[in-house]
Structure 1
């Protein structure tokens, strides 16, 4: 068999597509160069370094199919491990035209984070999906207040770098909660930026060292100048995000993203029935956990992506029933609403369009 080399011309692409289907073409192209693909956004790890406790930053060279994200957005990151494909969502940082940085903190029991930290090596290939997310730099000149906990720092890192690049005088206040000093990611960069820009304020709160800093509460509001004219972005665990949503209601703009869910404290027990109109099935799932998890436990595999309520891949129409958001605690009893099944639990019997 003659090797078919990729060409930039449409004639070359058409020739390849006429000889192979996409999967077969990708197989043979990647025998020649692991980054070549007709339709896959791929990255090759070219550098791996530890940036904090249980945290690594991977620098990847991307191919021409990779779509750059705006600062603050996320990419689906897809790996193959033990013959299975796993997809998780991470915020990437653009290093230059051909390279991005993926920063990962290990999650207990997390297949993807464990593989990326403990097993990924220079030369390994990672696949990417299309970027998404609307936590972008504001178009106006409002002050930017960034609140991060744990690995929620990664989109804030990109936003800070891009904001100061566009306007070195941009007013930015970054508040970052970690367990210990060893958990602080990007510390050297943030300290340097704070020295270079008087308008950039960087604070780290340690929740498991002595003396212990307070977790996010109303006392921190006094540190924010002119909250009503500020844009507030928050990223962290669901409890952190929910607290911030209550505290910063007065902000000019507020946006948040939760990277993990905490089951709400509830005395409710038992099961509810979910009717799936497309597949014509009715199943019982527990109250208090996400609808997505409950369906998966019944061997139903709905389409999903980030599992954080950001990408909307799992969203479907709710025809009947009441749900509760696992991030904010908000209840919804209205029919005909878009339902993100990854971040909502069922409170009554449901009818959904799946």
Structure 2
């Protein structure tokens, strides 16, 4: 056996031994998880699965969009362009958590040790305006590892990127990374903005396009040109059929673009998209019917309407229950529970469950027929 193989086996043994000790003493996989409440008394916001990090700057981009410049803690690993993460900060004694895409490139993190998250202030929102004010002079937050599959596809297939509003953030990361890494694949970005004042990162995108012949940026002023259409597609990117289509933005825009490009002959496996918000609920109308949902622990039975379907999380909340939830878009898994029977639709994947017992996420699941939940 080689020295390298011996080292790997030793490390594996030590890891299993440490886990056994932790489970024996604390009933946790890590001793740090057992000590977490005590550590939080001295270091608020500290968790075993998030990394304590520092916000260095809040940079205004437009009237309602700002960028957090963050130095992640040493345990934080890098990321792939297009991924998102969870940021948690303390507000009046309670922890507030939200998911945002990383708008800077991995190359920027490698060079500076910093990442950027560009955030639109949600009208009537509780957290997005507060984050801007809370970190105006810097401060401490915690970050989760980066995750997500809306990233540059492997290979050299040309790309058509269609963005709307703050859906531009993953594309900023991707295009900046392509420029920094010398990625020569052809990429064309159609960026739909409300007006000229809301053309995020305009100077930066124009510089990237000027310096890289394989990258083209087209700003589409919706006030003048309207929403995405087949005419826009044919005029601005006539070779779209050869490209992988990537879409990110508000839900109505994504639905529109998906529909238009599909009608123009783009196959489903050549379309990638990521919602900025909850995925729409689209029940198969042929199979849809009203369903009873039994929340066993809560002692509540509720009707899920086929005409106006809502997620199981919303249905629980409408009936006075308060299940644990975080992101509400299927990312954080805090609302995971056990479905004991019945069929649900996963609105994120579009897949129907089996009828038997399995774990589901309340925020992205809709009852298709009568369902019993361990909630």
Q: TM-score, normalised by structure 1?
A: 0.78
Within-5 A mapping of 1:40-79: 40-79=50-89
| 1:158 corresponds to which of 167, 173, 176 | 173
Farther-moved stretch of structure 1 (306-315 vs 88-97): 306-315
Taking a change above 3 Å as real, the CA distance of residues 153 and 273 of structure 1, as seen in their structure-2 partners, is: same
Task: Report the CA distance between 1:273 and its aligned residue.
Answer: 2.6
8 Å CA contact retained: 2:72, 2:143: no
The residue that corresponds to 2:6 in the other structure is none
Q: CA deviation at 1:262?
A: 8.1
Structure 1 residue 149, shift from structure 2 partner: 1.1
Structure 2 runs not aligned, ≥5 long? 1-14, 16-21, 23-30
Distance 2:153 2:328 in 1: 26
**Counterparts of 1:335 and 1:147, CA distance in 2:** 38
Q: How far off is 1:349 after superposition?
A: 3.5
Structure 1 residue 285: deviation in Å? Answer: 5.3
Q: In 1, Cα distance between the equivalents of 2:144 and 2:273?
A: 21
State whether structure 2 residue 230 is matched by structure 1 residue 218: yes
* 2:114 is the alignment partner of 1:96: no
Question: Hey, what's the Cα distance between the residues in 1 that align with 2:290 and 2:355?
Answer: 20
* Cα distance change on mapping 1:338 and 1:255 into 2, 3 Å: farther
| 1:24-173 equivalences in 2 (<5 Å) | 24-25=38-39, 27-28=41-42, 30=43, 40-92=50-102, 93=104, 94=106, 95-97=108-110, 98-173=113-188
1:291 aligns with 2:312: yes
Question: Runs ≥4 in structure 1, deviation > 6 angstroms?
Answer: 34-38, 262-266
Other-structure match for 2:293? 274
What is the aligned residue count?
327
Larger mean Cα displacement after TM superposition, 166-175 or 127-136: 166-175
Tell me, in whole angstroms, the C-alpha distance in 2 between the residues paired with 1:311 and 1:349: 26
**Who is 1:230 aligned against?**
243
Change (3 A) 1:285 1:181: farther
Of 202, 219, 224, the match for 2:217: 202
Contact 2:45 / 2:90 at 8 angstroms: preserved in 1?
no
Q: Distance in 1 between matches of 2:187 and 2:53?
A: 31
Q: Is the 8 A contact 1:322 1:349 kept in 2?
A: no
Gaps of 5+ in 1: 1-9
Q: Quote the offset at 1:227 in angstroms.
A: 3.5
Aligned to 2:5: none
**Of Structure 1 and Structure 2, which has the larger fraction of its residues in helix?**
2
Alignment correspondent of 1:22: 36
- RMSD (Å), alpha carbons: 3.6
Contact 1:57 1:104 in 2 (8 A): yes
- Tell me how far 1:219 sits from its aligned partner: 2.1
Q: Please say if residues 82 and 171 of structure 2, whose CA atoms lie closer than 8 Å, have aligned partners that are also in contact.
A: yes
- Retained in 2: the 8 A contact 1:56–1:103? yes
Q: Residue 253 of structure 2 aligns with which residue? A: 240
| Structure in which a larger fraction of residues adopt strand | 1
